[in-house]
Amino acid sequence: MAALIAENFRFLSLFFKSKDVMIFNGLVALGTVGSEELFSVFAFNCPCSPARNYIYGLAAIGVPALALFLIGVILNNHTWNLVAECHKRGTKNFSAAATFLLFGSIMGRAAVAPVTWSVISLLRGEAYICALSEFVRPASLDKFPADHGAEVLARFPCKDAPANLTKYRDDVTRRLRYESQLFGWLLIGIVAVLVFLTK
């Protein structure tokens, strides 16, 4: 019985060692999803003001993704091995193919968290709605009052619009959420095709 348990344990340890990159990437993705959820609940607060919405919404999607990418590059051991090797021997001794593969490995591992952040942000749609609500053309909304413009549309993400515009707010929110989720699914598809072609 002890030999059977030891054999199963050895099989599991070999399985996890062979899949360590996949498991690591899965854990990074799960941590990123959790972080994005916490950010959405506790930190994301659309300013609901023209010109500020766009900057804030794009920053909420892009800046954390950029920070996660840089952290991924910095924490990768291959990055520092490459830097040390360049410092020690110079770049003239590197072959182009090996350097390309090494950079691909570094960038691929570093891209897991930012891509996950961007996809989850787009699928949730809050930051996208905040960023683009003021740019919806009032003429595209059926019988939208002519005296209201970008200032009122910018307040839609905060549910701060006048009561008579609730129908329009729901329509704008639904339309922008659809666009945001479409971009999220397209990003998933593009990343899947790139991973497939790379493999």
**Mean pLDDT, range 106-132, rounded to an integer:** 92
CA–CA distance, 85 with 98 (Å, rounded to integer): 13
Contact 152, 161 (CB under 8 A): yes
The per-residue pLDDT for range 178-189, each reduced to its tens digit, is 999 999 999 999
Tens digit of pLDDT for each residue in 127-184?
A: 999 999 989 888 788 887 777 777 888 888 887 777 778 888 888 999 999 999 999 9
Q: What is the pLDDT of residue 47?
A: 92
Work out the number of other CB atoms within 10 angstroms of the CB of residue 134: 24
- For 54, residues 6+ apart whose C-beta sits below 8 A from its C-beta are 131, 132, 134, 135
pTM of the model: 0.79
d(CA 48, CA 158): 6
Q: Is the pLDDT of residue 19 over 60?
A: no
Consecutive H or E run containing 161: none
pLDDT of residue 66: 94
